[in-house]
Amino acid sequence: MTASSYRNNLLGIASLSAGTFVFSMQDTVIKAISGDHSVTLAIVLRAVVAFPILTVMVIMAGGLRQLETPQWPILVGRGFILLAAYTTYFMSFPALPLAEAIALYFTVPLLVTLMSGPLLGERVTPAAWAAVALGLVGVGVILRPGYGLFEPAALLSLVSAVTYAYAMILARKHGRTVAAPVMTFYLNVSYLIGALVFATITMALNIQPPGHPSLDFLVRPWGVPSPRDMFLMAICGIIAAFGSNFLAQGYRKGAANVVAPFEYLGMVWGSLWGFLFFNEVPRLTTFVGMALIAVAGLLALRASAKQS
């Protein structure tokens, strides 16, 4: 490895680690407001705050003319898929310990491996299949089916992982000719429009919270947040703008097989914030499942790197 490659990998690791840390704070904020507000309100405020920041990033990356890309319908469509991913992910927070919700979400690399065959025509090696199988064992350890302890909201994290993985497949197919700030800008447009439309429909139909914390978080009518909660939700817009940039820079600077494992720091931060802010002590099965999912993800990444 040359000195330049080594330096770029270090910069990539630092950027990715920073992005993972920043996004872990967003998860903490969303969980903190999930008992009093609607997830759509949080997403809309996040999008509004992120808009000026992302506009500046687009200008600095080459100008607003980049937004006139012929791929904008694909970018907006991908944004709606990611809106579904983030909404279901956030919905799991009020019903699950933070560490469990995040750990189940980190099955994304395994799902990308599964989807890359039929959707991208890539060959999935036996080693990659073995990694996926190990990851599924980790999911089973966390869910513990058959012990009377299963929380249906755990499925929301898995749905989030599936939709997010599909969005990553689309990015691999269509994102090579679009600058990262432009892609993020259109994602933000989709988040704002999608959340506003869904909230308008639920409130127009007078849909009432049914009593489950996850569903309540989805359909709860909008109210006027306290100054504290307004500040917390606004902070998510800043987190989203800068966190996305950190992650994009991490993969741009460093080799993917070198920097990607540092995304699993998200499980560490999730466990820590859950303990510090919500008095959540992860069960031993959660730690075991997290370890299995992380090892499986690393094995899948290694198999992918060898193939390429």
pLDDT tens digits for range 130-156 = 888 898 898 888 887 655 456 788 899
**Which stretch of 19-28, 43-52, 122-131, 186-195 has the lowest confidence by average pLDDT?**
122-131
| Mean pLDDT computed over 195-218 | 94
- Higher pLDDT, residue 256 or 148: 256
Say yes or no to pLDDT of 120 above 80: no
- Quick check: 142 and 104 in contact, CB under 8 A? yes
What is the length of the chain?
308
pLDDT of residue 42: 95
State whether residue 287 is helix, strand or coil. Answer: helix
CA–CA separation, 93 and 259 (whole Å): 27
- Quick check: 163 and 85 in contact, CB under 8 A? yes
Say yes or no to pLDDT of 1 above 70: no
Say yes or no to pLDDT of 258 above 80: no
pLDDT tens digits for range 260-308 = 778 888 899 999 999 999 999 988 888 999 999 988 888 877 776 665 5
End-to-end CA distance of the chain: 18
pLDDT of residue 254: 72
pLDDT tens digits for range 156-176 = 999 999 998 888 777 766 555
CA–CA separation, 151 and 161 (whole Å): 17
Q: Which two tokens stand for residue 178?
A: 């679009």
**How confident is the prediction for the chain on average, in pLDDT?**
86
| Mean pLDDT computed over 83-89 | 94
pLDDT of residue 307: 58
| Mean pLDDT computed over 218-246 | 89
| Percent of the chain whose pLDDT exceeds 70 | 92
Helical segments of the chain, H only: 3-33, 39-60, 72-91, 98-105, 108-120, 126-143, 154-174, 180-204, 213-219, 227-253, 256-259, 265-278, 284-307
CA–CA separation, 255 and 271 (whole Å): 27
pLDDT of residue 118: 76
